[in-house]
Amino acid sequence: MTIPITNKKEQLSKFRADMLNKSLTMFEWKNLPDTLPAVEIEKQLQTNGYSIIAKVNDNIYAFQGGFSGQDPYNQPTTAIVNNPSLKYNGTFTINEDCVIIKNDDMQQGLIHIYNKYGTLLIENQITMLMTDYNYRMPFTISSKDDTTTQSAREYLQKVIDGSLGVIGEAKLFDALKVTPTNNKGVNSFADLYGYQQFIEAQLNNTIGLATNNNMKRERLTTNEIEVNKNASYPLIDNMLRNRKQAVEKINKMFDLDIDVEFSSIWNGTNEDDNNGTNGVNLTNNNDTSLNGGIDKPEESNQEPTIDNEPTNETQSEVEQDNQSDEKTEVENKEEDNEPTNDNDDVDKKSADELSNDDQSNNDDDDTKDKKDDDKK
């Protein structure tokens, strides 16, 4: 089945439904009556911006209706409800017979946000589709007459079928004109894809899903990541505050014990924010960029050690180093003494040679004296 991507109205309707499937799980309602489903409350709040909580036939329901009356701040004082299923048509006094739950302070809901970003995304997707089609057409063919046009069609069809196309007449080249299409498709497609990611990141940040949009195509700094995270908090905090204020009035008016909090991924984001980390893990001591280059000292029950008093482990290491140094000094001394021994041997050898020479000279003198005596 082919998806009608170019049908903007249908695609926008599906996009809104997909986004509501995500955001309807944003809040967790507790202790609600059976006649008051949480999904119906959220559906009314996020699509219309408000919900009228009132009791009909001893049961509490969430209604849509109209408003009338005016207080000093131009706020309505009565709610008009018409429900064919319950066969009820009546008027409630706000804060006396009914409670108005606002999705946000301005009762805008989320549909207008989904319409805006959905329109941008669909238009960009269609542009990407057209760019994708252009990849199939590296050139365009134009002809001057019907005969040339038919010959060009047959030629292209043979190529599509896997056969080699042959042009038999030279005049076909004269009547046929081939024009290359835009050769910048690769760059434009990459830009469109980056724009798509930017729109999606802006949408997610608006509804509290922190998403980084890296338009500079480089590594993001900690401050840039924190800015993106901070942009995702205001609206969802506003929505939670309005719900809690209404729940307090409902519990008091109808003697209930309803509670509402963030759920799913929104709950984790809110808990990280309350812990002062804004969703960033600061336990990695090896990366000082996680907390902006400022290391936060870790708390410990161990007594601090003084630099002048090393621990046992440090003392052991120092002793080993001293022993190693002493051993090295001894070896160096032995090496220094070796040349001295060699000199002593040389001196001793020289003395022995001199002594032998003196003895030889004495022997020669004795021999000479003996010969002189014989002659006499």
Query: How confident is the model at residue 142, as a pLDDT?
Result: 77
Cα–Cα distance for residue pair 302/122, rounded to 1 Å: 60
Side-chain-side CA neighbours of 197 within 13 Å: the count stands at: 12
pTM assigned to the model: 0.64
pLDDT confidence band for 294 (50 / 70 / 90):
very low
pLDDT 10s digits, 111-138: 999 999 999 999 999 999 888 877 777 7
pLDDT at position 285, please?
38
Structure confidence at residue 309 (pLDDT): 45
Among 253, 16, 259, 241, which Cα is nearest to 119's? 16
Banded model confidence at residue 28, pLDDT cuts 50, 70, 90:
very high
pLDDT digits (tens, 9 = 90+) for 181-230: 666 545 578 888 889 999 999 999 999 888 877 665 566 666 666 666 67
| pLDDT of the residue at 204 | 92
Q: What is the mean pLDDT of the chain?
A: 76
Q: Calculate ∠ Cα 366-368-369, nearest 5°.
A: 65
> Which carries the bigger pLDDT value, residue 345 or residue 172?
172
Domain ranges of the chain: 1-49+103-138+183-280, 139-180, 309-370
Contacts of 30 (CB under 8 A, 6+ apart): 258, 259, 260, 261
What pLDDT sits at residue 183?
60
pLDDT digit string, tens, across residues 234-258:
899 999 999 999 999 999 999 999 9
pLDDT higher than threshold 70 for residue 102: yes
Per-residue pLDDT at 46 exceeds 60? yes
Q: What is the pLDDT of residues 305-359, one digit of tens each?
A: 444 444 444 455 545 555 555 555 555 555 554 444 444 444 444 555 555 555 5
pLDDT at 280 over 60: no
